[in-house]
Every structure is written in structure tokens, then in C-alpha cells.
Structure 1
């Protein structure tokens, strides 16, 4: 994931910052506890495609 792209991307729901989880290839919104998948190097920034984080899941990054 390009660092410059990561700097400008925000959560489509709350417009908050995203954290890259390299191991899972996801962009994480800590505020909404949503994970957006990165497929073939392209982030899928659709709320309907986002994965809700489990309440016990720790956000890394």
C-alpha cells in the first residue's frame, strides 16, 4: 500500500483516519471499528463491504 495514498484515504463513514493492518491486508477505522479489505493492492472503501471488528479484536498499527 502506497504511503501517500494511505495519508489521504479516510473512513467513508466518519471521515476519520485509517490504520493499515499489513498482516490482514485491511484498512482499519478505530472510531467505527470497521475493516476495509485491500484486494490486489486496491482498498475497497465501501461501507457495505466493510468487516465489523469483533469487540475483543485488538486494532494494530
Structure 2
């Protein structure tokens, strides 16, 4: 992935004002907060990719992490 940034939920609205990105991948530990974040992005015209189940599910499926 060419560009990855962690945006804590409280500063998420700032991100929406300055974002000029092509793909946004949203994830959290369990998948619940990322669903909320994805909805906010969609409401603001973005097309996020949400990692269902969060990073816990990602690891459980033996997918790569750094």
C-alpha cells in the first residue's frame, strides 16, 4: 500500500476537510469503529474499503501484517 495513516476517531473530521486520496482503507481492532468511519466517509462522497472484522479477523485469516 503506497500510503497508510492512522487517524484517531476524534480528529477524523479534520481528515475529511483535507483529504485528497484515491483509495481509503478503513480498519480498527474489531471492525466496529471502522464501520462508523466508513459511513462518515461515504456520507462525504468517499468510497472507502472497510476491513470487515478488523485487524483481529485479518490476523486470524493469516493475512500479512507488518
**TM-score, structure 1 normalization:** 0.26
- The structure showing larger relative contact order (alpha-carbon pairs under 8 Å, at least 6 residues apart) is 2
Q: Name the structure with the higher helix share.
A: 2
**TM-score, structure 2 normalization:** 0.25
Q: Which has the larger radius of gyration?
A: 2
